[in-house]
Amino acid sequence: MGYKARFKVWRGDKSGGGLEDFSVDVNEGEVVLDIVHRLQATDAPDLAVRWNCKAGKCGSCSAEINGRPRLMCMTRMSTFAEDETITITPMRTFPVIRDLVTDVSYNYEKARMVPAFSPPADLEPGDYRMAQVDVERSQEFRKCIECFLCNDTCHAVRDHEENKTSFSGPRFLMRISELDMHPLDTVDRREVAVQEHGLGYCNITKCCTDVCPEHIKITDNAIIPLKERVADKKYDPIFSIASLFGKTKERARRTPPPGKNA
Amino acid sequence: MATTGIESPGRAQIGVKTLRTDRWWIAPLLTFLALTAFVVYSGWRVFSNQYYFAEPYISVYYSPCITTTCVPGSGFGDGFVSWWALSPALLTAWIPLAFRFTCYYYRKAYFRSFWLSPPACAVAEPHGKYTGERRLPLILNNGHRYAFYLGLLLNVVLTWDAIIAFRNSEGQWGHMGLGTVILVANAVCLWMYSLSCHSCRNAVGGRITHFSKHPLRYRMWTLISKLNTRHMQWAWISLCTVVLADFYVYLLASGRISDLTFF
Amino acid sequence: MTDLERHSYDVVVIGAGGAGLRAAIEARSHGKRTAIVCKSLFGKAHTVMAEGGIAAAMGNVNSKDNWQVHFRDTMRGGKFLNSWRMAELHAKEAPQRVWELETYGALFDRTPEGKISQRNFGGHEYPRLAHVGDRTGLELIRTLQQKIVSLQQEDFHATGDYESHIKVFAECTITRLLTDESGAIAGAYGYFRETGDFVLFESPAVVLATGGIGKSFKVTSNSWEYTGDGHALAMRAGGSTLNMEFIQFHPTGMVWPPSVKGILVTESVRGDGGVLTNSEGTRFMFDYIPDVFKDKYATTPEEGDRWYTDPDNNRRPPELLPRDEVARAINSEVKAGRGTPHGGVYLDVSSRLPAETIRKKLPSMYHQFKELADVDITAVPMEVGPTCHYVMGGVEVEPDTGSAKVPGLFAAGEVSGGMHGSNRLGGNSLSDLLVFGRRAGLGAAEYVESLGESRPQVTDAMVAAAELEALAPFTTEGGENPYTIHSELQESMNDLVGIIRTQAEVEQALERLEGFKARVAHVTVKGGRAFNPGWHLALDLKNMLLVSECVARAALERQESRGGHTREDYPVMSPEWRQVNIVCRADGDGAAIVRQPLVPMREDLLDLFDVDELKKYLTEAELPKGAH
């Protein structure tokens, strides 16, 4: 049942490093994170790896396995052939700290730039009423475990370090979308999405959706609808004129105060 | 590029553009070949200005045919554009081109396979700079909905073409040939492709925040959302039916074959 | 002390799970400059693992529910050993805390009228758990995280600095609390994982919200962080823990594959209709209804099934008994040879609900089994068994303020003790975090207020001692690898102080713990200080050992079976023992315990129960007057 697998694990820090070879025992039913733990307990006790729940719920053990951004705890060893060499590297979009651990502070800085949820001022706690169909879209996005694999795989920042200042990545465009679809939110974040979070950088190549371990349809359900809503406001004079005469209640939202980049 | 991409200072220095071990290049390569073939074929047909009408069938590229130079019987009446000297297809074929070029699916397809931006997920792209769809001309992609609206009008025309394909070459109803089947199938596929569009999804209900107050639009949105998950498939299927429908008319009109008539 | 980073705050919150974040929000909203120290990244706390929901008697689904009913359920679940005051505050305040989450942006599942939907759960008389599918913990943590961010945005607009009033120190572990000569809290000392550099927080108030101790056990649903840090920090600072013998083994953890053994299978599976069967296909829970619950649970599968649609006229199925009962039952079935091939029992929802409903109501369970075990729960039953899940015992606190027995020290959430008595009901944890997180944050803010300008001071000698202690594993040579000792500790606790305990086994455990203590003193770690998990484990091990000793000593002391403490040699619940709390303190390099009487329940609360029910738990003398 068990076998020896060949692994290459990137070890090093920001001053440099490289792939190190290991040969490790693998037992039935194991995932890549089990193997990394076995390495820690045997060959490499100081091998740095970030993990918490080991059940795909916390989004800590993000890395790249055979070049693909994945959670180590959700990558079963049975998906590899026994004679296959498995390569594990840290996420390649964020600065490395040590071994498989990266500095993901970019994501926390971007999170802080999204204008927060703003309920109507006169609505008391306990009086919130929302229909299930109205919360479902945002609920899908709130499944996000913030593993940041989508931001890792997005070429707009992965391949272009300089875009990090003006582009927040799929995770936070989705967060804006989530708030925009929240039935009780009162803020219009569409301008912010374009100006501060770089919605226009997204060219819909859908890698974020491909890597999402929660199977959230980031592109189809969050980013494209957000682009369309922005188009309603910015690029669609006909709709804008029509909405002057029609029911504008759907969009009685105010513009948020400027954030850090404004 | 070494300093801006995955080898930027501070990131793990790994030294290769990708560590993917699968054949990630197949999908963009196939897409490239298929789209190139389509563009070449379409260019040839649109500019050729011949063999586009074989009573009762008209080629999708040439419908509606609105110039006075249209082949007799193919036009809208006798045609009303008299000042146009080139192929009449050029006056209308840009609409589906614009619709497909700005389509959210095709954007993925050509950005990956033509621009290599990125060629595949987690495979480094070859460009030093990337600005996305934030400036001309790509910012025009935000106008996808206009192409969608025009595309719908065109679908109506093509549907009419499919309906009149049930008339024989003398204009009598009750005819059906292989061409009829092809035109009907093409119209259906074009409708599926258009209705599954992301702009359509936004227009029918996506832009609403409170579905519960618009039950009918919510139902439409639910339906369109289901179609939308197959948008890519419809994009390819309808691309194929367009070529098929045109090529069949071409074969008939150029006399290479004759229509297989069922009744 | 060359590379020591110093910070000064009004309140330092250790732990960034539900309780810690809620405490920080409260302290900050009372104007206190607050630091949040988290062992992992911000938003990754163990709270995300909570699945079922937040118990709060809002009465949205069944209007008969109210705080009194919730209070009764909580006391019953804890076998009357709970701090009744905490249970009272909890039941009264939980609804406000849940509604407050909505103002922060939480999106719970809704009822048809648009209110927060509530689901059934073990031990709760009415549908009471506010939930979002089976990922409620994630919603809670994300909501609180986003609320903190929104407070930081407010501070940014006011001061130009996001972190002027509330700052998160991620991947930072506290190794020691510093106290002044009077014993009051003066600060906290720790290290950053990323660099291994040390950090000193000077602060008159510390809120412990570090969670539990599950990593001392082999089969556990807890993550690596759950090493009893807060319990150990409090005891080493002069505080005490109580009732550490009560450990909840969640009845349903995954049992296969081995690498995921222990990972939680939410109770909602049973709340939504899932049933437990043994290898003979019997719904065995009907054979395990204890006398105290006889009249509250269905006696036939038919009645149990009817309850899901008509709860007013039928009794609930025994799969929804409190967790301790179900865990023991599963344990007995497996021991009797009626277990599954991998040593669990079957939990089946596939034959009870349509596949589409399962995917909708239990999405993350579907996902978890599909991806980790390659099992489709819409088609076949799951295999489950008990897993160490929660410690009911914890730091001894004042119910109203969360203040521990050390001036300036507060505790909330799993690290605090008393609220859940001898057994916690599912769903009461998330509400506990919110209710007492807020109260501890408030308590800390008020305490700081009361100090005025005179704050306890940190001395250099203390800082030097803390540094020496933290660096010890690097200075010893030729010692053992911490991973080896850790796995032996886990085996010992699991096998000897697990679900079922005996005097002989617990004594053996204590002996082994002595051995581990000696070995940990000489543990050696390889590599440098930057992100070195071996070093981190070496430091955590000391906490695990101290806490494990408390657990074992208290387990040996309590000669009865109650809730999360089952003694094979004393199988009966004893009203006399109900009057006793077992308190544990640090003593030299180990732990010492004393018995402490429980405060009698207030008369008006006692009146909420039927005298016949009280007779099952209380001594004759404790019964209300006129009940004899």
Query: What pLDDT is stored for residue A262 in this prediction?
Result: 39
Quick one: average pLDDT of A237-255? 65
Q: Domain for residue A249, yes or no?
A: no
Please name the residues between 6 and 35 in chain A that touch chain B, using a CB distance below 8 Å: 10, 12, 14, 16-19
A159 and A198 together in one domain: yes
- 3-state helix/strand/coil string of chain A: CCEEEEEEEEEEECCEEEEEEEEEEECCCCEHHHHHHHHHHCCCCCCCCCCCCCCCCCCCCEEEECCEEEEHHHCEHHHCCCCCEEEEECCCCCEEEECCEECCHHHHHHHHCCCCCCCCCCCCCCCCCCCHHHHHHHHHHCCCCCCCHHHHHCHHHHCCHHHHHCCCHHHHHHHHHHHHCCCCCCECCHHHHHHCCCHHHCCCCCHHHHHCCCCCCHHHHHHHHHHHHHHHHHHCHHHHHHHHHCCCHHHCCECCCCCCCC
Residue A90 sits in the same domain as residue A117: no
Within 8 A of C257 by CB-CB distance, chain A residues are 28-30
- pLDDT per position as a tens digit, C208-226: 999 999 999 999 999 889 9
Which chain B residues have a beta carbon less than 8 Å from that of A162?
Answer: 4
DSSP H helical ranges for A123-187: 132-141, 149-153, 155-158, 169-180
CA neighbours closer than 13 Å in the CB half-sphere of residue A233: 19
Same structural domain for residues A95 and A123?
A: no
Nearest to B248 by CA among B39, B93, B60: B60
Residue of C nearest to A96 (CA): C194
Cβ(C427)–Cβ(C54) below 8 Å = yes
Specify the long-range contacts of residues C612-615, CB closer than 8 Å, at least 24 apart: C613/C76, C613/C292
Q: Express as a percent the part of chain C with pLDDT over 90.
A: 87
Q: Which residues contact C46 (CB under 8 A, 6 or more apart)?
A: A52, A53, C17, C211, C212, C222, C223, C225, C226
3-state secondary structure of C1: coil
Q: What residues contact residue B144 under an 8 Å CB cut-off, 6+ apart?
A: A231, B99, B102, B103, B104, B197, B198, B199
A210 touches chain B (CB under 8 A): yes
C window 579-618, beta carbon within 8 A of A: none
| Contact criterion met (CB < 8 Å) for A158 and B208 | no
- The number of residues making up chain C comes to 628
How many whole angstroms separate alpha carbon C383 and alpha carbon C377? 10
Chain C residues inside the 8 Å CB shell of A39:
none
* pLDDT at residue A195, rounded to an integer: 96
In a domain, B244, yes or no: yes
A57 closest CB neighbour out of C49, C374, C484: C49
B139: closest chain A residue by CA? A200
Kindly report which listed range (A21-25, A54-58, C510-514) carries the lowest average pLDDT score: A54-58
State yes or no: pLDDT of A257 exceeds 80.
no
User: Is A50 in CB contact (< 8 Å) with chain C?
Assistant: yes
Residues of B in contact with A207 (CB under 8 A): 118, 121-122
Same domain, A163 and A48: no
Which residues in chain A have Cβ-Cβ distances shorter than 8 Å to C223?
A: 51-54, 58
CA distance B143 to chain A (A): 7
Give the β-pairing of A3-13 and A85-89: parallel
Chain B residues lying within 8 Å of A230, measured CB to CB: 142
Spatial distance between the Cα atoms of B210 and B250, rounded to a whole number of angstroms:
50
Q: What is the pLDDT of residues A135-171, one digit of tens each?
A: 999 999 999 999 999 999 999 999 999 999 999 999 9
A56 touches chain B (CB under 8 A): no
Mark whether A75 and A146 lie in a shared domain: no
Q: Which residue has the tokens 């994982």?
A: C193
Q: Are strands C500-501 and C566-567 parallel, antiparallel or unpaired?
A: parallel
Do A230 and A117 share a structural domain?
yes
C107, C146, C163, C480, best to mutate vs chain A, most A CBs in 10 Å:
C107
Q: What share of chain C is helix, strand, coil (3-state, %, to 5)?
A: 40, 20, 40
Q: Which of A10, A31, A108, A128 to mutate to test the interface with C (most CBs of C within 10 A)?
A: A128
Amino acid at C586: A
Instruction: Look at residue B6 and tell me if it is in a domain.
Output: no
Q: Do A153 and B121 touch (CB under 8 A)?
A: yes
Domain shared by A70 and A157, yes or no:
no
Out of A45, A50, A128, whose CB is closest to C483? A45
pLDDT band at B2 (very low <50, low <70, confident <90, very high): very low
Instruction: Check residue A250 and give its pLDDT.
Output: 53
Entry field: residues in chain A = 262
Quick check: helix, strand or coil at residue C360?
helix
Closest CA to C79 of C607, C593, C566: C566
DSSP code per residue over C151-182: HHHHHHHHHS-TTSSEEEE-SEEEEEEEE-TT
Name chain A's partners: 3 or more CB pairs within 8 A: B, C
Per-residue pLDDT at C615: 94
**What's the token pair of residue A99?**
């071994």
B16-20, B255-259, C178-182, C474-478: the lowest-pLDDT one: C474-478
Q: Which chains neighbour C (Cβ–Cβ under 8 Å, 3 or more pairs)? A: A
Query: CA-CA distance, C592 to C198, in Å (whole number)?
Result: 31
Does the residue A111 lie in any domain? yes
Partner-chain contact C264 A50, CB within 8 Å: no
pLDDT at C93 over 60: yes
Contact: C259, A34; criterion CB under 8 Å: yes
CATH (domain of A129) = 1.10.1060.10
The neighbouring-strand residues paired with C27 are: none
Run of H or E residues at C289: none
The answer to whether A97 contacts chain C (CB < 8 Å) is: yes
Closest chain B residue to A16, measured at CA: B13
Instruction: Check if the beta carbon of residue C410 is closer than 8 Å to that of residue C443.
Output: yes
pLDDT at B194 over 80: yes
Q: Which two tokens stand for residue B261?
A: 């008539």
State how far residue B34 is from chain A, nearest Cα, in angstroms: 18
DSSP H or E segment with residue C555 = helix C533-557
Give the C-alpha separation, B62 to B47, whole Å. 10
Give A-chain residues touching C165 at CB under 8 angstroms. none
Domain boundary among A100, A122, A145: A100
N residues, chain B = 263
A167 touches C at CB < 8 Å:
no
Phi and psi at residue C198, to the nearest 5°: -90, 155
Q: How far is A174 from chain C (nearest CA, A)?
A: 14
Q: Using the beta-carbon criterion (under 8 Å), do C532 and A28 form an inter-chain contact?
A: no
pLDDT (tens digit per residue) in B172-182? 999 999 999 99
How far is residue A20's CA from residue A18's CA, in Å, rounded to a whole number? 6
Q: Residue B78 falls within a domain, yes or no? A: yes
Catalytically annotated residues of C: 250, 270
Query: Which residue of chain A is at minimal alpha-carbon distance from B121?
Result: A207
Partner residue opposite A128 with nearest CB, options C102, C528, C533: C102
Which residues face C276 on adjacent strands? C347
Residue B237: C-alpha distances to residues B35, B241, C43, C187, C434 (Å): 13, 6, 44, 68, 54
Together in a domain, A213 and A124: yes
Find the closest chain B residue to A219 by CA distance.
B104
Reference C185, options C22, C11, C358; nearest CA is C11
What CATH number has the domain bearing residue A72? 3.10.20.30
Domain contains B79: yes
Are the beta carbons of C157 and A257 separated by less than 8 Å? yes
Residue C127 C-alpha, separation from nearest chain A C-alpha, in angstroms: 18
Averaged pLDDT of chain A:
92
At residue B76, the pLDDT reads: 73
In a domain, A260, yes or no: no
Mean pLDDT of chain B: 94
- The reply to whether B200 falls in a domain is yes
Pick the CATH number of C2-245+391-459 from 3.50.50.60, 2.40.40.20, 3.40.50.1370, 3.30.420.40: 3.50.50.60
Pick the last residue of a domain from A45, A79, A100: A100
Q: Are the beta carbons of C179 and C206 closer than 8 angstroms?
A: no
* Amino acid of residue A170: P
Q: What's the domain count of chain B?
A: 1
Q: Report d(CA B234, CA B31) in Å as an integer.
A: 15
User: Of A157, A159, A216, A243, which to mutate for an interface test with B (greatest number of B Cβ within 10 Å)?
Assistant: A159
- To the nearest whole Å, the CA of A122 is away from the closest chain C CA by 11
Asked whether the beta carbons of residue C260 and residue A29 sit closer than 8 angstroms, the reply is yes
Count of C-beta atoms within a 10 Å radius of residue C491? 13
Tell me whether residue A76 is in a domain.
yes
Distance of CA C123 to the CA centre of its chain: 17
The predicted pLDDT at position B1 comes to 42
Q: What is the pTM of this model?
A: 0.94
- Conformational region of residue C343, where left means phi above 0, alpha means psi within -120 to 50, and beta covers everything else: left
Give me the CATH topology for the region C249-387. Answer: Flavocytochrome C3; Chain A, domain 1 (3.90.700)
Residue B259 resides in a domain: no
For range C180-202, the mean pLDDT: 97
- Number of domains making up chain A: 2
Taking CB atoms and an 8 Å limit, are A126 and C99 in contact across chains? yes
Between vectors from CA A28 to CA A25 and to CA A30, what angle results, nearest 5°?
75
The residues pairing with C593 across neighbouring beta strands, listed in sequence order, are C584
Say yes or no: A62 and A117 in one domain.
Answer: no
CA dist., res. C506 & res. A32, Å (int): 36
- Inter-chain residue contact B117 with A205, CB threshold 8 Å: yes
| ipTM surpasses cut 0.90 | yes
Choose the CATH number for C468-579 among 1.20.58.100, 2.60.40.1930, 3.40.190.10, 1.20.1090.10. 1.20.58.100
* B132 to A198: CB separation less than 8 angstroms, yes or no: yes
Radius of gyration of chain C (CA): 23
Among residues C179, C187, C140, which one has the least CA distance to residue C586? C179
Q: Render pLDDT for C421-469 as a digit per residue (tens, 0 to 9).
A: 999 999 999 999 999 999 999 999 999 999 999 999 999 999 999 999 9
Closest-CA distance, B248 to chain A, in angstroms, reads 34
Domain of residue A231, residue span:
102-243
pLDDT tens digits, one per residue of C127-172: 999 999 889 999 999 999 999 999 999 999 999 999 999 999 999 9
| Residue type for position B66 | I
Cβ separation of A29 and C49 shorter than 8 Å?
A: no
pLDDT of residue B159: 97
Which tokens is A259 given?
């954030």
Distance of CA C431 to the CA centre of its chain: 11
User: Which sign, positive or negative, has the C-alpha torsion C212, C426, C44, A17?
Assistant: positive
Residue C347, H or E segment:
strand C345-348
Residue A255 lies in a domain: no
Tell me how far apart the alpha carbons of residues A194 and A201 are, in angstroms, rounded to a whole number.
Answer: 9
Looking at every residue in chain C, the average pLDDT score rounds to: 95
Q: How confident is the model at residue C28, as a pLDDT?
A: 97
**Domain coverage including residue B59:** 23-252
Are A53 and C99 an interchain contact pair (Cβ–Cβ within 8 Å)?
no
Interface contact B4-A161, CB threshold 8 A = yes
Q: Count the Cβ atoms, other than its own, within 10 Å of residue C353.
A: 18
pLDDT of residue B169: 83
Query: Which residues of chain A are within 8 Å of residue B8 when distances are taken between CB atoms?
Result: 161
pLDDT digit string (tens) for A94-130? 999 999 999 999 999 999 999 999 999 999 999 999 9
- Subunits with 3+ C-beta pairs closer than 8 A to B: A
Retrieve residue C578's tokens. 């109900």
Q: Is residue B51 part of a domain?
A: yes
Q: Three-state SS for C502?
A: coil
